[in-house]
Amino acid sequence: MQDRGTHIARLVFLATAIGTLVAATACGPASVAPELPAGQRIAWNSCDEPAKELECARVAVPLDWQRPDDGKIELAVIRHRASRPHERIGSLFFNWGGPGVAGVPKVRDMAADLDAIGRGRFDVVSWDPRGTGDSDRIVCFHNEQSRKEFWGRDWSIPTTRAESVKYVPKTVEFIKRCTALSGELLAHISTADTVRDLDYLRQLVGDPQLNYRGVSYGTFIGQTYANMFPRRVRAMVLDGVVDPTAFTDGTAENVTKSIADADLVFQKFQSLCQSAGPARCDLAGHGPVAPRVRQLLVRLRRAPIGKLTYGDALIVLWVRLGSPKQWPELAIDLDKAARGDGSALESTARNVKAFVEPALDSAVGLQCADKPFPPRPGPQAWPEIIGRLSDVSFISGPVNGWLLWAPCAAWLVRSADRYTGPWNAFTKNRILVIGTRFDPNTAYANAVRAASRLGNAVLLTHDGYGHTSDADPSTCVERVTSKYLVNLVTAPAGTNCPSNRRPFDRNFN
């Protein structure tokens, strides 16, 4: 499930935002429920493809749930019918994070695997959240050509003070363009809005309670839902956890909590490569791996290797650290660069940026919508903030800080509805929280805190590597998850699940 596009999309997920509704607490507007007219259901149609189990629809929802008669937007929705319909329990909703990852294409691509998670006993349902995909979405450019012209051929992550100061106006201009083209939608793209959409979809499929699996930012959607509507949760799996307090406190706060383990994971990458040896890791066999990589990065900070810049190298590390499946290829490319050929890393960075550019339209806006308004600190403070984030992770601090968070310092729109806690609601059934021990994008400590903070939750530790348990397959995690979804039985507190194989092992996936 961790191909390159999937992984990048998830990473463009890391989180933050701006927008606010004063008094959006559990006893305020955030607890108001959408009302469903009697007998109303989704009008499913064929998805125009061979798989008969797949059905698609478009669902109209209010732009503003507080003023439902003031206008509608549409959501793209998909379901895969349960493969064991006579034993069907209900629907299982999925969200893959981002924010900004569209759910419809994910279900198209992964239908059989998703059906298996619920042992064939759930209709698998997902949607393109408001602001994304084929739903009413955020628009920041008139066309693809104007987007390419804005970013330019050679943009990268600033890594010097001079580059940082020069980059700040681009973050401000990006937000201005999104605001000019997306209009009133931007005031209604907070996670509270998305949670109301999710609860409405739950009602439309006829389920009295929600079954849900969210990864990365999808765990923030889940935690928000569980605290806004705790009595409506049947089963909820949160994998790769975002800390909701940090997420809603501010951009720098969230980045700090999320990337706390990123450099540790990079160290693990190097030590596992060393242990695997040159037969399975190309970086090994030329002396100790860690000093060789350090020497390469020092060299890049001084000057490019061919067209490969230090900023582009950080982008590649940022993307690939979350996917152990890609670690052997990363080792090959780092080895080539250490021998003076940076073309492979440069080519990967170019492909990543081509993917990221359109993804940022949705990702940045959805992150900004959940942050305090007006934004503090402002854009001019970001070069200094990046320095502090770089102390947390020399890789993810600059990349996350500039790519995803810096634009929020110039966000221009106050959210009409924003949920900021509390985060400790009690649900009748336990919530299953999964934390991967060496996750570079959502630190393991986030999962520990969430399981402790929620009123009725249990922590499952995935003793593996990468961003979410999907990145480092574990039959143990899969069995615990399936048993929980079907039977509402969680593993005992303190359970550790090993991965099936270690990174760099043959036949890793």
Q: Compute the half-sphere exposure of residue 494: CA atoms within 13 Å on the CB side of its CA.
A: 0
DSSP states along 319-364: HHTT-GGGHHHHHHHHHHHHTT--HHHHHHHHHHHHHHHHHHHHHH
**Whole-number Å distance between alpha carbons of 184 and 291:** 52
pLDDT tens for each residue of 355-413 = 999 999 999 999 999 999 999 888 999 889 999 999 999 999 999 999 878 999 999 99
What distance lies between CA 439 and its chain's CA centroid?
13
* Angle (deg, nearest 10), helices 310-320 and 327-338: 160
The CA–CA distances, whole Å, from 386 to 22, 168, 381, 484 equal: 29, 12, 9, 41
Amino acid at 136: D
pLDDT tens for each residue of 442-492 = 999 999 999 999 999 999 999 999 999 999 999 999 999 999 999 999 999
DSSP states along 395-445: THHHHHIIIIIGGGGG-----S--------PPPSSPEEEEEEEE-SSS-HH
| Cβ–Cβ under 8 Å, residues 456 and 492 | no
When pLDDT is averaged across residues 411-423 and rounded to a whole number, the result is 96
**Whole-number Å distance between alpha carbons of 480 and 497:** 9
The enclosing H or E element of 210 equals strand 210-215
**Neighbouring C-beta atoms of residue 334, cutoff 10 Å:** 28
Edge-to-edge order in the sheet of strand 54-62:
45-46, 54-62, 72-80, 122-127, 90-95, 210-215, 233-239, 431-438, 457-465, 496-498
**Whole-number Å distance between alpha carbons of 491 and 137:** 39
**Whole-number Å distance between alpha carbons of 122 and 237:** 14
**Whole-number Å distance between alpha carbons of 261 and 190:** 27
Q: Comparing 25 with 324, which gets the higher pLDDT?
A: 324
**Whole-number Å distance between alpha carbons of 387 and 283:** 29
**Whole-number Å distance between alpha carbons of 177 and 150:** 10
Q: Comparing 424 with 161, which gets the higher pLDDT?
A: 424
Encoding tokens for residue 8? 């990048």
Question: Maximum distance among all alpha carbons in the chain?
Answer: 71
In this prediction the pTM is 0.92
Q: Compute the half-sphere exposure of residue 331: CA atoms within 13 Å on the CB side of its CA.
A: 30
**Whole-number Å distance between alpha carbons of 367 and 369:** 5
Per-residue confidence (pLDDT) for residue 15, from 0 to 100: 31
Per-residue confidence (pLDDT) for residue 13, from 0 to 100: 33
- CA torsion sign, 446 to 447 to 449 to 453? positive
The enclosing H or E element of 269 equals helix 262-276
Contacts of 417 (CB under 8 A, 6+ apart): 21, 24, 29, 30, 64, 65, 66, 188, 190, 192, 193
pLDDT tens for each residue of 212-261 = 999 999 999 999 999 999 999 999 999 999 999 999 998 888 899 999 99
How does the average pLDDT of the chain come out, rounded? 91
Q: What are phi and psi of 94, to 5 degrees?
A: -120, 140
| Cβ–Cβ under 8 Å, residues 54 and 481 | no
**Whole-number Å distance between alpha carbons of 81 and 214:** 19
pLDDT tens for each residue of 58-81 = 999 999 999 999 999 999 999 999
Per-residue confidence (pLDDT) for residue 490, from 0 to 100: 94
Strands 210-215 and 122-127, how do they pair? Answer: unpaired
Decide if pLDDT at 153 tops 90. no
pLDDT tens for each residue of 13-47 = 333 222 222 222 233 344 455 566 656 899 999 99
Q: Compute the half-sphere exposure of residue 400: CA atoms within 13 Å on the CB side of its CA.
A: 35
Decide if pLDDT at 12 tops 90. no
Q: Quickly tell me which residue has 């307090």 as its tokens.
A: 245
- CA torsion sign, 397 to 391 to 321 to 469? negative
Per-residue confidence (pLDDT) for residue 48, from 0 to 100: 79
Instruction: Give strand pairing partners of 237.
Output: 213, 432
**Whole-number Å distance between alpha carbons of 360 and 178:** 10
Per-residue confidence (pLDDT) for residue 252, from 0 to 100: 85
Q: What are phi and psi of 222, to 5 degrees?
A: -65, -45
| Cβ–Cβ under 8 Å, residues 491 and 480 | yes
Q: Is 31 exposed, middle or buried (0-12, 13-18, 19+ CB in 10 A)?
A: middle
pLDDT tens for each residue of 463-474 = 999 999 999 999
- For residue 509, name the pLDDT band (cuts at 50, 70, 90): low
pLDDT tens for each residue of 171-203 = 999 999 999 999 999 999 999 999 999 999 999
Contacts of 78 (CB under 8 A, 6+ apart): 47, 54, 55, 56, 57, 103, 104, 107, 108, 125, 126, 127
